[in-house]
């Protein structure tokens, strides 16, 4: 009887082995095929990172290098050529001493799209006016003011108009001061830990920064050595398997948003949320962060006045605001609404013109879900086009 059972099991075991081998071969074939698609960014070292086009800057921590000509920036959904011009901006070269308007801000002013598809270029085309485009990724308000002054000095002529594109993580960047530095043209995070209970920020030493950069170069992750064995295995799988990344993203899309208190409690090596989405009542230190942040905006306003330049702020809505179902708590949205009210009152008290893109984006979101990159917080080319259209119409309507 036992001999008969053994013979019966053999075909089943053989079938399981053959099936497993076939399944493994299919997975390997799919992995190879996916490496010829935009999903290849999942397994590229430093995925989503900008090319080595940065230089250290004493006041801002970092800036774009001048005349950088041969880079590309890739994400899962977009890939585009990047460069910098004769005044270290992602734009065509600027004729020095000539009349112009100036656009400043962070990565939303930079734009995750080819130069001719960015909202800044669309604004220029629609209005027929020269807009010098000087957004820098990962900049806060303090850094943007430093960039603004450098650009004005480099051009040698005050702009007719200064437009600052404001995004809701600018408060984060101002609170940390200079959160990034540069190694061999690459941006490296300086923040070692951040305490959400107190707002205290601890930075890496120069030796630690060098070590994190070497980890980044070798593994594509500046924190690799601190990971547990399990997390290193998980990291290795995600770094080498596109299919694993796709499965992980699919499963994660069904996870409910965590409670705000679980996000912001205690120490973390990096920001887990925007400070503008957190409760000032529960975290009083954020009020002090806001005061410092608004003081930086005030300096920018006064600098524009000193140049006799017109000044306007464009308020960029978050993906969570436009598509509320996108993994955000009601508490976060309520806190963000309070932050918005505080910012707008500050600007109104100083008679500063601003234009909030939220209404136009919210209206358009009823027709399309493609205004923001699905795996990123930035605009798609469709979102860039809408922003360019709305801002152009507003500027022309008020004859700004």
DSSP bridge pairs for 133: 103
pLDDT at 358 over 90: yes
The answer, yes or no, to whether residue 264 has pLDDT greater than 60, is no
88 vs 215: CA distance, rounded Å = 28
Q: Say how far apart CA 352 and CA 192 lie, in whole Å.
A: 37
- At residue 120, the pLDDT reads 98
Q: Has residue 143 got a pLDDT over 80?
A: yes
| Secondary structure (3-state) at 139 | coil
- pLDDT band at residue 252, thresholds of 50, 70 and 90? low
Residue 265's pLDDT is: 46
Within-domain flag for 172: yes
| Residue 126 CB neighbour total at 10 angstroms | 15
Q: State which H helix or E strand residue 72 sits in.
A: strand 71-74
Reduced to 3 DSSP states, what percent helix, strand and coil does the chain have, rounded to the nearest 5?
50, 15, 35
Query: Is residue 46 included in any domain, yes or no?
Result: no
**Do 87 and 14 sit in the same domain of this protein?**
no
181 with 94, same domain: the answer is yes
| pLDDT level of residue 34 (50, 70, 90 thresholds) | confident
- The helix/strand/coil state of 313 is strand
The highest-confidence range among 74-83, 110-119, 221-230, 239-248, by mean pLDDT, is 110-119
Does residue 254 sit in the same domain as residue 188? yes
Cα(203)–Cα(176) distance, rounded to whole angstroms? 9
- Residues 134 and 236 reside in one and the same domain: yes
Question: Would you say residue 6 has pLDDT above 70?
Answer: no
State the CATH number of the domain containing residue 352: 3.40.50.1110
234 lies in the same domain as 148: yes
User: Looking at the domain assignment, is residue 21 inside a domain?
Assistant: yes
Are 9 and 137 in a shared domain?
A: no
**CA-to-CA separations, 328 to 33, 82, 144, in angstroms, rounded:** 34, 32, 28
Stretch 156-180: mean pLDDT: 94
Structural domain boundaries, residue 284: 54-397
Q: From the CB of residue 12, how many other CB atoms can be counted at a distance below 10 Å?
A: 9
DSSP 372: B
pLDDT tens digits for 333-351? 999 999 999 999 999 999 9
Please tell me the predicted confidence (pLDDT) of residue 224.
67
Question: Which of 28-37, 45-54, 127-136, 363-372 is the least confident region?
Answer: 45-54
**Residue 263: pLDDT over 50:** no
Instruction: Specify if 40 maps to a domain.
Output: no
The pLDDT of residue 82 is 95
What number is the average pLDDT over the span 320-335?
A: 85
8, 70: one domain = no
Are both 310 and 218 inside the same structural domain? yes
Residue 45 lies in a domain: no
Q: Token pair of 179, please?
A: 């959160």
Residue with tokens 């992750």: 221
Whole-model pTM: value is 0.84
> Both 260 and 382 in a single domain?
yes
151 close to 60: Cβ distance less than 8 angstroms: no
How many domains is the chain partitioned into structurally?
A: 2
Is 39 a domain residue?
no
Mean pLDDT of the chain: 88
Domain-embedded: residue 320: yes
Return the residue matching tokens 């540069």. 182
SS3 label, residue 89: coil
Same domain, 335 and 257: yes
* 15 shares its domain with 80: no
Domain membership of residue 286 (yes or no) is yes
Query: Do 147 and 18 lie in a common domain?
Result: no
């Amino acid at each position: 009887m036992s001999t008969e059972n053994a013979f019966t099991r053999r075909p089943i075991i053989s079938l399981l082995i053959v099936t497993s081998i076939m399944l493994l071969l299919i997975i390997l074939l799919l992995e190879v095929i996916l490496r010829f698609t935009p999903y290849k960014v999942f397994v590229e070292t430093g995925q989503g990172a900008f090319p080595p086009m940065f230089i250290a800057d004493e006041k801002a921590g970092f800036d774009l290098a001048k005349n950088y000509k041969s880079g590309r920036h890739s994400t899962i959904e977009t890939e585009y050529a990047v460069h910098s011009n004769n005044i270290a901006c992602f734009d065509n070269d600027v004729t020095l001493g000539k009349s112009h308007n100036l656009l400043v801000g962070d990565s939303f002013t930079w734009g995750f799209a080819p130069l001719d598809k960015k909202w800044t270029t669309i604004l220029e085309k629609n209005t027929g006016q020269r807009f010098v485009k000087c957004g820098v990724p990962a900049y806060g308000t303090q850094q943007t003011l430093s960039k603004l002054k450098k650009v004005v000095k480099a051009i040698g002529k005050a702009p007719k108009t200064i437009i600052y594109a404001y995004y809701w993580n600018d408060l984060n960047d101002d609170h940390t001061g200079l959160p990034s530095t540069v190694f061999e043209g690459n941006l490296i995070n300086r923040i070692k830990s951040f305490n959400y209970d107190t707002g205290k920020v601890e930075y890496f030493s120069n030796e630690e920064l060098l070590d994190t950069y070497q980890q980044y170069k070798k593994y594509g992750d500046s924190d690799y050595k601190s990971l547990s064995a399990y997390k290193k295995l998980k990291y290795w799988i995600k770094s080498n398997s596109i299919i694993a990344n796709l499965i992980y993203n699919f499963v994660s899309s069904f996870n409910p948003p965590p409670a705000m208190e679980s996000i912001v409690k205690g120490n973390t090596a990096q920001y887990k949320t925007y400070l503008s989405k957190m409760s000032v009542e529960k975290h009083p230190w954020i009020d002090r962060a806001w005061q410092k942040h608004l003081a930086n905006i005030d300096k920018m306003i006064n600098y524009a006045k000193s140049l006799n330049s017109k000044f306007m702020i464009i308020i960029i809505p978050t993906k969570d605001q436009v598509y509320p179902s996108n993994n955000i708590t009601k508490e976060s949205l309520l806190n963000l609404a309070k932050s918005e009210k505080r910012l707008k009152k500050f600007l109104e008290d100083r008679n500063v013109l601003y234009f909030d893109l939220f209404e136009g984006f919210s209206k358009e979101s009823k027709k399309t879900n493609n205004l923001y990159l699905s795996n990123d917080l930035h605009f798609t080319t469709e979102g860039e086009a809408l922003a360019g259209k709305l801002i152009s119409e507003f500027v022309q309507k008020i004859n700004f």
